């Protein structure tokens, strides 16, 4: 698992460090400055130019490598992001977001797939997926959304302990409005980082729409068992390797 903080420190966490039974992540080592962990990326002139203009950063795996993908808000800044191949230490031209509504990108452990969250005008959350064609990041200048944000995340009952996915909007009138900042999916579970809590639920909620699934809230102090505490809102990129 790879966690990158907003001040560009990297936690490189061994596989198996997350206990999915009790929803706790063990960070047993101190973070490493990005400049030391990935010096070619950090010293790249394009990275230096966009590092204060990052729209989203996430980890993605394709058929060739694991990647750090750093996107910009092209609509606002008119510059492209960069993609960094971790296995070969190569920097490539990346992607720029061309929409008007901000998104939160959610890394997964699937090849060339990630989720994205968008907040609508009523603050309800809608879920989407992106996928790169041919499972190859290096040779693609863009990747397209698959579902046009038509999957609304809804509370399945009045207790707010179960959620479900409904088409287009929540028929119950009870949409989920979590303040999600970042997240990742691993071993079939979503881990969404909010302002004060981490929201954890089964990935099948997306694949089995209309079926309720339990959601668990965990504080940052509970979830991160580590050498250095990561404050809420400090993670810019997180994923399983």
The confidence band for 11, taking pLDDT boundaries of 50, 70 and 90, is confident
| pLDDT tens sequence across 32-45 | 999 999 999 999 99
How far, in Å, CA of 190 to CA of 239, rounded? 11
Number of domains in the chain: 1
Q: In what order do the strands lie in the sheet with 32-33?
A: 32-33, 9-12, 2-5, 235-239
DSSP characters over 196-216: SEEEEEETHHHHSTT--EEEE
Q: Report pLDDT digits (tens) over 91-147.
A: 999 988 887 888 898 999 888 888 999 988 888 999 999 888 778 888 776 677 777
62 and 109 Cβ atoms separated by less than 8 Å: no
What is the mean predicted confidence (pLDDT) over 175-183?
Answer: 93
Q: 203: which residues sit within 8 A by CB, 6+ positions away? A: 185, 188, 189, 190
The domain of 162 spans 2-239
What contacts 21, CB < 8 A, 6 or more positions away? none
Q: Are 52 and 227 in contact (CB under 8 A)?
A: no
Q: Which two tokens stand for residue 8?
A: 């560009």
CB 115 within 8 A of CB 185: yes
């Amino acid at each position: 698992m790879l966690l990158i903080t907003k001040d560009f420190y990297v936690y490189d966490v061994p596989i198996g460090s997350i206990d999915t039974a009790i929803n706790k992540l063990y960070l047993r080592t101190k973070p490493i400055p990005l400049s030391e962990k990935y010096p070619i990326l950090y010293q790249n002139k394009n990275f230096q130019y966009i590092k204060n203009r990052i729209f989203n950063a996430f980890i993605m795996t394709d058929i060739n490598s694991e990647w750090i993908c750093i996107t910009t808000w092209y609509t606002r800044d008119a510059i492209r992001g960069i993609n960094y191949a971790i296995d070969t230490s190569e920097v490539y031209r990346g992607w720029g977001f061309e929409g008007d509504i901000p998104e939160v990108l959610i890394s997964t452990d699937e090849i060339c797939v990630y989720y994205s969250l968008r907040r609508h005008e009523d603050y309800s959350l809608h879920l989407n997926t992106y996928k790169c064609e041919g499972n190859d990041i290096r040779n693609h200048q863009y990747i397209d959304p698959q579902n046009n944000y038509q999957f609304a995340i809804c509370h399945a009952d009045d207790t707010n302990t179960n959620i479900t996915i409904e088409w287009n909007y929540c028929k119950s009138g009870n949409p989920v409005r979590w303040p999600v900042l970042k997240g990742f999916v691993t071993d079939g579970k979503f881990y969404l980082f909010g302002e004060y809590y981490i929201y954890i639920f089964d990935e099948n909620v997306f694949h089995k729409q209309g079926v309720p699934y339990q959601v668990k809230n965990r504080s940052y102090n509970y979830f991160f068992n580590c050498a250095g505490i990561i404050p809420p809102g400090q993670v810019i990129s997180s994923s399983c390797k």
